[in-house]
A and B are shown apart, each in its own frame.
Chain A
């Protein structure tokens, strides 16, 4: 299949106009020794029907979580996505447009991002949000860099109950600037150990990171962590689950300085982990330190309301090495997905998603609690995800998988303190009571107690 429209006659006419005898003349600047010696070995071109058949065959070799009863989470959740989201995302006016550099012909994208910024700011109760980051992990890394730049202290304190991949991404971003990352362990309840946090803050830190809920699913005592950060002179960076914010006190109300998170829950397909949506919100005082694009409302020459990219002097194309970040292309279309998702479900729908997720997670927890084959190390202070221990997680997952159930993510390797049998179980609004009972039955029939 070729998408080139020029005909041979077109090319001849064009070369003639250029004054070139052949295409090879145009390659004059490329030294012969540098040119490829042989054609690319990529197989023959495929017709559209062959490409489609090939890709469908690859797709058919996958068994998607979306078609099973999935209890997998860890940042990516199987949530219901209204058809409105897919519809708007499939409009090529949005998906085939470029970054809105020419504002006058990009008002659709610009207004949608403005609405997105507004929704994120409201969810987090912060003053402003940016136009998006790559994902939760890099948004957290950028928040760390921003805090270090504000405070000029190359040290941050993070919870040990942080997604191991997020922690690894943080380390990669920290290494360049020589930033030290100190971990604070969790206590018996699965939440940050206050004594350990106080000890970690005896030395100055640019920021304390609060994951709410944390990677083990537990809801932290946010006001206490915030107070500890404040009294130590550190910024409070909150890594928040956006759906949980419909039920939990928003970070702006307990003193957060920067709020970031993974927005996949807001209408994005699981898509094997990408594209995702990093969101970032902050206080007015720090907006000029913020990475990424910002859209502002303004007026045009006739006084009509319009939207434009603003504060671009923070960004790499103006400030180059002194920019707040190197980010350029972000996740604009995913921000649009989140906007349509939040507008579709609305105030009441998002709350219902959160209530159903949390109540179903509790229902499952209580079904599992009496079983001898399962141990639940922490209490009910979670949002929609909790840790359970089984004696043989691989065997348990296989037994569940055989019945069309994805039982959870084994996390024993990343968190040895939890034991080798630890699994992270997530429950979203999509799980039915029957799904929960099925997982309970599988758990009841597997192995003995640890």
Chain B
């Protein structure tokens, strides 16, 4: 346990970071001044740095080891991209500066939009959404306004039961009603069931491709045909786009709206929970609805334009997570078209290889070639009184991170595993070896798993009492000397 920063501080111990005020303060007459202290720490710089370095030491992170979280695409974050995004010419820009002073930034955004169009086959992109769920919401707003402008009253959005929870949540915020369509016994959308569910009321089919089971929708052509036949739009959650780079261009197969996650597919770091970036792409007929401002180019000059009468309006205070855009752009330039395809191929090979190794000890939910990820099940260990949570926690004792667990919801005791392309064969062997060893332990000494983890900074936490009476703030003050 580390004490909080509040406990480590002591009154009288602060750094001084500002030069003296060279303007008079005398009559700073504020109508309603704050009385009393805020309760912020007072701590010397050395102890402050020690504190956060101590906390850093308690985190698992990509630079430490493999991070096989399914659908999260935890690939290596190239360090050069961090360096480039910190250049003063990017990091020091105010968003309201004159366009003449930010030509390089606008050019980068414009080029990135064109790159994403090339990669996905969409006609136009907006870089404004700052997370995957934000992209979904933006996409749903586009669909909402599209039908509103056409005076079509369509209120339902079809969402497969394997979908990430953000999908139905984004749908609901937009005033649509999500309707779940069940997967068939192969883990795929059943075209017959889709046709039956699709009607005059359907606005959008929201699908993830490959889906969250790591499976490509074999019937995608028929699926798109059914949805378009009903006058509805197809939205693709591009969280799993890493499997499709250079292999499938969603815009070319009739996807109308999609988002990509730059913090997954394009190697920008996840930051412990953001900042992300979830650009939204659309086909030509929907391009006018994208958020404003749009970056436009004319004769080598770049500018920002709000002049889009059909736009859904902005979805962010400014232009999105620009700093993340810089990293994604650098990544695309470094890899080029062939490198992106190489990334997808290796992601797919790694996933199929790891699935093969894992299948020796664990049931695979939907056997057959997978794309970039697969779902195993811990249900075979239940007879030893062991659950998937126990497997996940035991992996931590092996110095590894756990896969995504209990998702997708349609697989019992799910372990959703995405190895990503930057991990090499030996690393996958090591991970599979750990999972096998844990399966043996489950049989021979299940208590090892029940008690796990024991090597981590803390052991299993009492989540139930935290939920019953949450302690969201440190109650104590600063120590007196």
Contacts and interface: CB of A to CB of B under 8 A. Distances in A.
B228 interface: no
Contacts, number: 696
A64 interface: yes
A165 to B, nearest CB: 5
Interface residues of A, number: 211
A318 B467 CA distance: 14
A387 interface: no
* Residue from A272, A325, A401 with most neighbouring chain B CB atoms (10 Å): A272
A284 to B, nearest CB: 9
18 contacts: A45-B338, A51-B333, A58-B107, A84-B48, A92-B63, A104-B460, A105-B401, A134-B274, A176-B140, A178-B175, A221-B31, A262-B317, A272-B318, A310-B472, A317-B165, A321-B178, A327-B131, A346-B43
Interface string B248-285: 11001100000000010001011111111000000000
A137 interface: yes
B94 A58 contact: no
Contact of B55 (A43, A107, A134, A169): A107
B453 interface: yes
Interface stretch (B83-91, B376-384, B441-449): B83-91
Interface in B63-104: 63-64, 67, 69, 72, 74-78, 80, 82-84, 86-98, 101-104
Given A2-B339, A43-B337, A64 B93 contact: yes
B263 to A, nearest CB: 7
B461 interface: yes
B274 A6 contact: no
B474 A114 contact: yes
Contacts of A137: 314, 316-317
Contacts of A166: 317
A326 interface: yes
A417 interface: no
Contact of A65 (B93, B133, B401): B93
A308 B461 contact: yes
Contacts of A262: 317
B248 A34 contact: yes
B465 interface: yes
A29 B130 CA distance: 32
Contacts of B57: 93, 108
B246 interface: yes
Contacts of A348: 14, 42
Interface stretch (A194-202, A230-238, A299-307): A299-307
A173 B59 contact: no
Contacts of A60: 89, 104
Contacts of A27: 247, 348, 369
Contacts of B252: 36
Contacts of A320: 165, 168-169, 178
Top 5 A-B residue pairs of the complex, sorted by shortest distance between their CB atoms = A273-B318, A66-B92, A332-B273, A64-B92, A59-B89
Nearest to B119: A40
Given A43-B336, A275-B324, A295-B472, 16 more contacts: A10-B425, A76-B318, A82-B15, A98-B69, A106-B58, A107-B458, A129-B472, A176-B140, A247-B33, A272-B90, A275-B274, A299-B465, A328-B133, A329-B131, A331-B274, A345-B40
Interface stretch (A180-188, A335-343, A370-378, A438-446): A335-343
Nearest to B291: A172
A193 to B, nearest CB: 16
A356 interface: yes
A258 interface: no
A33 B221 contact: yes
A219 B87 contact: no
Interface in B1-38: 1-2, 4-6, 9, 14-18, 21-25, 28-35, 37-38
B40 to A, nearest CB: 4
B240 interface: no
A52 B339 contact: no
Interface in B86-135: 86-98, 101-105, 107-108, 115, 118-119, 121, 130-134
Nearest to B188: A29
A55 B82 contact: no
Contact of B133 (A26, A64, A145, A316): A316
A323 to B, nearest CB: 5
Contact of A172 (B32, B97, B315, B368): B315
Contacts of A207: none
A118 interface: yes
B340 interface: yes
Interface string A56-86: 1111111111110010101110101010101
B238 interface: no
B470 interface: yes
Contacts of B77: 92, 95-96
A401 to B, nearest CB: 7
Given A246-B38, A311-B467, A322-B172, A274 B4 contact: no
Given A61-B104, A98-B72, A106 B60 contact: yes
B310 to A, nearest CB: 13
A48 interface: yes
Nearest to B131: A329
A177 B321 CA distance: 27
Contacts of B253: 34
Nearest to B76: A3
A311 B82 CA distance: 34
A4 interface: yes
Contacts of A132: 273-274
A29 B6 contact: no
B313 A323 contact: no
A230 to B, nearest CB: 17
B396 interface: yes
